[in-house]
Each structure stands twice: as C-alpha cells, then as structure tokens.
Amino acid sequence: MSATTTTTQLSKSPVDTPGPGPAPARKTSGEGRIGLRANLRHIGALARRNALQIKQDPESMFDAVLMPIIFILLFVYVFGGAIAGKGNNDAYVNYVTPGLMAMMGMNIAMGVGVGINDDFKKGVMDRFRTMPIARSSVLVAKIVVEVGRMMIATAILLGTGFLLGLEIKTSFVELLAAIGLSVVFGASLMWIFILLGLTMKTAQAVQGMAMLVLMPLQFGSSIFAPPTSMPGWLETFTDYNPLSNLADAARGLINGGPVAHSVWMTLGWALAITVVTAPLAVAKFRKKT
C-alpha cells in the first residue's frame, strides 16, 4: 500500500464522512473531533505505511540488524580482557550485554529524529497535516514502528550474546522484564529525538546534536565498566545517568541481585521524559512549516 492509498483511507475515516443529519455526540480523546477509536485506526494505518517503507527499503534495517552484532563483538573481544581480565571474556559478556540493551534503544531512537526531519523535507508531513487526523497519531505511529525495530535489534543482541556465552541466571520472565524495561525507556527517548528532528533544520544537524547527547550518556555510564573505576566526579554523574539505571536494572534482572531501585528510577525517568517532551513535540509538529 502506497502513501497515496494510506492518505485515501485516512481521509475516509467514519469520523469525517458526512451524514444525512447532525452527527451524534462522540467522546473525544483531546484531539478535536477525533475519537479514540478513529485515533487508534489512524495510528495503525500510519504505522503500516511506515512498515511498508522499510519493506521497500530493506537497507534501512541494516543498523538494527548489524549494529548489535558489531557492538557486542567489539566490546567483548577488544575491551573485555582489559576490563574483566584476560581470559574472562565470558564473564564480561554477562556484564556488557544488559548494558548494550540500554544502548540499542538510544541508538535506534536517534534514527526517529532523522526520519521525521527527512519526511518534512519531502513534504510527507505537510500532506498528513492537511488530513483530518490527530496530529499525535503521526508521531505515535513512528514510535510504534521504531519500537519494533528496537525489539529486533535486542533479539539479535541477545542471540549473539548467547553464542558468546551469555547465561540467564534468573528466569525467562525476568529476561522479558529486562527487555520490556529497555523498550519503555527507549520509546520515551524517541520523543526527545522527534523534538530534535522537528527543531533542527537538516538531518545532519539532528545527527550532530544527537551525538552530543549520546556520547556523554553512553560512555559516562555503567554500560561498559563498573563506575567504581571512574574518578569521583564522573562516578557521581554516572549514578544519576538514566542509562546507568537502565543498565543496572537489566543486569540485575538477568544476572540476579537487587533491582527495585534501578527499575523505579528507570520508569521514573521514562515517565518524566515522555511527559515533558511529548507535548512539546506535538505542539512543534502543529506549528512547523
């Protein structure tokens, strides 16, 4: 189904079809006349459109498929011996893999902002804004598809980790909880990058700004090495870094150990990020020209 077909279907939503008499009162979801059911239908149609774009351009999946393999091989065999000690690569696999789950979400999230910026350059978003659909549905549909890409990347990461010696020392349910926590936090980060994509003038500018955010958060965290080996000021930053909380929570859920504090901190960060940035992103989407 092409973007044109999707446009036709969206414009024929029952909410907008003229009837013989006054339309009955409808419960709205805060998006003008767009009801919740119509909103969900629009999100589904737009998510399908985005998924079909990926099908037509398989190269857009290279980052989700190859990045997890490259990162885990790189860190286990290049840095694993130095951090965990020579010959202890297996132990480092169990340390770094949960951390890389947090890193995958952030890297996939960066691509959302670039994609939004590119869609505006092509005029796709201008077409969507002329249609009788909730403005938030366009952005939520993007997040839905990117969450799917994130789960594929996470599955490949874990599969490669198992080949390298990763062991689940808790249970399958707790492994699923670690994956779910990573997805929730990654989805919240997408709102930040959507806002960047709507604010910056070019895709290159979005990537540059995203790297300024990514680098300190990724390497100033407990993803790759225990914070105890860091200088005091950096260890303090690491303690408050949301990626550290996510990495520690995933690590505890997979390897065992206390997780309550890290889980609640991660969920708190995810909620705060979404509450602050999602309304800003939707407002910016409405006003952007």
- Return the pLDDT at 6: 42
Q: Rounded CA gap, 59 and 221, in Å?
A: 31
Q: Is residue 120 part of a domain?
A: yes
C-alpha to C-alpha distance for 193 and 197, rounded to whole angstroms: 6
Written as six digits, the tokens of 90 are 């297996």
Res 5: pLDDT? 44
Residue 289, pLDDT score: 57
Q: Give the CA distances from residue 30 to residues 27, 64, 231, 278, in Å, rounded to whole numbers and listed in that order.
A: 9, 34, 48, 14
Q: Is residue 17 part of a domain?
A: no
Dihedral, CA of residue 178, residue 184, residue 190 and residue 191, to nearest 10: -150
Among 184, 242, 174, 178, which Cα is nearest to 213's? Answer: 242
Tell me if 149 is assigned to some domain. Answer: yes
Residue 207 is predicted with a pLDDT of 84
Structural domain contains residue 74: yes
Q: What's the pLDDT score for residue 9?
A: 43
Whether 15 is covered by a domain: the verdict is: no
**Is residue 1 in a domain?**
no
How many Cβ atoms are within 10 Å of 148's Cβ, its own excluded? Answer: 17
Q: According to the model, what pLDDT value does residue 7 have?
A: 42
Domain membership of residue 144 (yes or no) is yes
pLDDT digits (tens, 9 = 90+) for 80-104: 777 766 666 778 899 999 989 988 8
Number of domains in the chain: 1
pTM: 0.80
Residues of the domain holding 190: 34-287
Residue 82 lies in a domain: yes
CA-CA-CA-CA torsion sign (143, 146, 151, 157):
negative
What stretches in the chain show pLDDT beneath 50? Answer: 1-31
Q: What is the pLDDT of residues 27-80, one digit of tens each?
A: 433 445 667 777 778 888 888 888 887 888 888 788 888 999 999 998 888 877
Q: What is the dihedral of CA 269, 274, 280, 282, to 10 degrees?
A: 160
